[in-house]
Amino acid sequence: MKKLFVVALTIFTVFSCGKEEQDFVTIAGKIDNANSDSVFIVKDNFRKGIPVVNGEFKDTLKLVGNSYFEFYSGNERTEIYLSQGDSLFISTDMQEFDEKLKYRGTSEKENNYLAQKQLKTEQIYVDPAAFFSVDPNSFKSKVTAYKTELNADLNQEGINKVFKESETKNIDYFYYMMLAQYPMAHQYFTQQEAYLPADFDEEIKKLNLENEADFNSIPAYKQFVLYKVSNQISEAKTPDEIEKIISNIKTPQIKDAVMKEFLLYFVASGSPDSERYHNYIQKNAKDKKIKKESTEAFAKVQKLLPGKLSPKFSYPDITGKTVSLDDLKGKLVYVDVWATWCGPCIREIPSLKQLEKDYHGKNIEFVSMSIDPQQDKGKWENMVKEKDLKGIQIFADKDWKSQFVQEYGIKGIPRFILIDASGNILNADAPRPSDPQIRTLIDQNLKS
């Protein structure tokens, strides 16, 4: 009874704030089975942590304009929409985060709509292989039906007009994103090229990729633009081509975002072209924060440039025997940093196994380093056996905080590293096994 009273009092406090301070938003909530000491409200460079005490949290945020944000609790996330003057109460259960997610307050209709939208989106992606393996016409019919259903949900009574206009665009751009993803995803899951009808992507071809207003306010548009640019960058064969792609972007804010998303990654990963991309950012970025981030990142990775002595590892393998980098001197070493929960890591396994098979008996060792948490060591052992993983399988001691991971500045996986026979770095951010360039790189250094 006391617990119910506390929750009711919190809700009353949130709702009684009204809209006296029009540029502030009051957020509070109750999370059952909370497994984190904070929740986070995130958007671009904005990140606000709110302490969670006995499953409850409350704070007031200053807000400039209406906007979409990401709400994080532990490993769960959801999209929320906040308007100036809002009072919003969030309730959920970490054991059924999406299913139990509910909102009360001034923007409850908009956010409960987003919660239901997320459930529906998860349903269509529950089996990606099945979703993308159908023929082009069936796929387009499926995503068109999804788009129609969301628009119907959006037209319910009481939803804010400004939100409705933004969300209509958000739905449209997400639809375009699915169409854009289809050819590559279809080929990945079916191992067959998708032969598209002439009008399949006509809508996409007409889109303006330099709409600054939508880039700043519509999450799906920003994702779509960055996706299209990332495809161009992934197809580029030289740094010159990558820089040309970015230089051709006319809108300064979009250009800055692309540099932050892609070039900063190359700088921070210790790519062989780190210095070049760092210099490009310093010359071309308008946002001083991006320049500062690049300067800080480059200072950290200078010790990871080709020819520098590699950070060491010494971890137990699948049999319990400790394996160190020093044990492998005299051979090239290709390190795969991965985890059992990482989808892109799992998708690289067939290519990695083929790479290991093709170079079997040559002067190279393949090391797969799991950064699963200690409590998931059993999952790692089972996956190694079930997937018959080859090479040297080792388990890091402190997942993301393991010394090797920290010294390489690894913030995303899979991450591949190529080390020469003397223990020096050849490439701190080497091509993936599925990328033909890795074979060229290995061959060049096996001969040297």
Q: What is the 3-state secondary structure (H, E, C) of 74-143?
A: CCEEEEEEECCCCEEEEEEEHHHHHHHCEEEECCHHHHHHHHHHHHHHHHHCCCHHHHHHCCHHHHHHHH
User: Of 73, 105, 137, which residue constitutes the final position of a domain?
Assistant: 105
Structure token digits, residue 50: 């709110």
Asked whether residue 112 is assigned to any structural domain, the reply reads: no
Return the pLDDT at 173: 96
Alpha-carbon span 200 to 180, nearest angstrom? 10
Asked whether residue 420 is assigned to any structural domain, the reply reads: yes
Q: Do 101 and 131 sit in the same domain of this protein?
A: no
Q: Do 337 and 401 sit in the same domain of this protein?
A: yes
Q: Which contiguous run of DSSP H or E holds residue 192?
A: none
Q: Which contiguous run of DSSP H or E holds residue 413?
A: none
Answer whether 59's CB lies under 8 Å from 24's CB. Answer: no
Q: Do 323 and 417 sit in the same domain of this protein?
A: yes
Say which amino acid occupies 53: V
Three-class SS state of 366: strand
Alpha-carbon span 397 to 404, nearest angstrom? 10
Return the pLDDT at 75: 83
Q: Do 343 and 294 sit in the same domain of this protein?
A: no
| Residue 11: domain span | 2-105
Strands 392-395 and 364-370: what pairing? Answer: parallel
Q: Do 196 and 222 sit in the same domain of this protein?
A: yes
Say which amino acid occupies 65: G
User: Of 74, 105, 136, which residue constitutes the final position of a domain?
Assistant: 105
Q: Do 328 and 357 sit in the same domain of this protein?
A: yes
Asked whether residue 166 is assigned to any structural domain, the reply reads: yes
Q: Name the pTM for this structure.
A: 0.77
User: Of 235, 250, 265, which residue constitutes the final position of a domain?
Assistant: 235
Return the pLDDT at 445: 93
Q: Do 47 and 134 sit in the same domain of this protein?
A: no
Count of C-beta atoms within a 10 Å radius of residue 210: 13
Asked whether residue 117 is assigned to any structural domain, the reply reads: no
Return the pLDDT at 164: 95
Q: Over its length of 448 residues, how does the chain's per-residue pLDDT go in tens digits?
A: 333 333 333 333 344 333 344 678 999 999 999 988 999 999 887 889 999 999 999 999 887 778 899 999 988 999 999 988 899 999 999 999 999 999 999 999 999 999 999 999 988 888 888 999 999 999 999 999 999 999 999 998 889 899 999 999 999 999 999 999 999 899 988 889 989 999 998 989 889 999 999 999 999 999 999 999 999 998 898 999 999 999 999 999 999 999 999 999 889 888 888 899 999 999 999 999 999 999 999 998 888 889 999 999 999 999 999 999 999 999 999 999 999 999 889 989 999 999 999 999 999 999 999 999 999 999 999 999 999 999 999 999 999 999 999 999 888 899 999 999 999 999 999 999 999 999 999 999 987 5
Count of C-beta atoms within a 10 Å radius of residue 283: 8
Answer whether 212's CB lies under 8 Å from 251's CB. Answer: yes
How many domains would you assign to the chain? 4
Q: Do 145 and 211 sit in the same domain of this protein?
A: yes
Return the pLDDT at 350: 93
Return the pLDDT at 4: 33
Q: Do 129 and 93 sit in the same domain of this protein?
A: no
Three-class SS state of 182: helix
CA distances from 182 to 112, 151, 194, 208, 406 (A): 29, 22, 8, 20, 36
Asked whether residue 182 is assigned to any structural domain, the reply reads: yes
Q: Please report, for the domain that includes residue 435, its CATH number.
A: 3.40.30.10
Q: Do 226 and 137 sit in the same domain of this protein?
A: yes
Torsion of CA 254, 258, 260, 266, to 10 degrees: -170
Structure token digits, residue 153: 């949900």
Q: In what order do the strands lie in the sheet with 415-419?
A: 392-395, 364-370, 332-338, 415-419, 425-427
Q: Do 327 and 441 sit in the same domain of this protein?
A: yes
Asked whether residue 415 is assigned to any structural domain, the reply reads: yes
Answer whether 26's CB lies under 8 Å from 62's CB. Answer: no
Asked whether residue 432 is assigned to any structural domain, the reply reads: yes
Asked whether residue 142 is assigned to any structural domain, the reply reads: yes
Q: Do 228 and 252 sit in the same domain of this protein?
A: no
Strands (E), 208-321: 314-316
Return the pLDDT at 268: 84
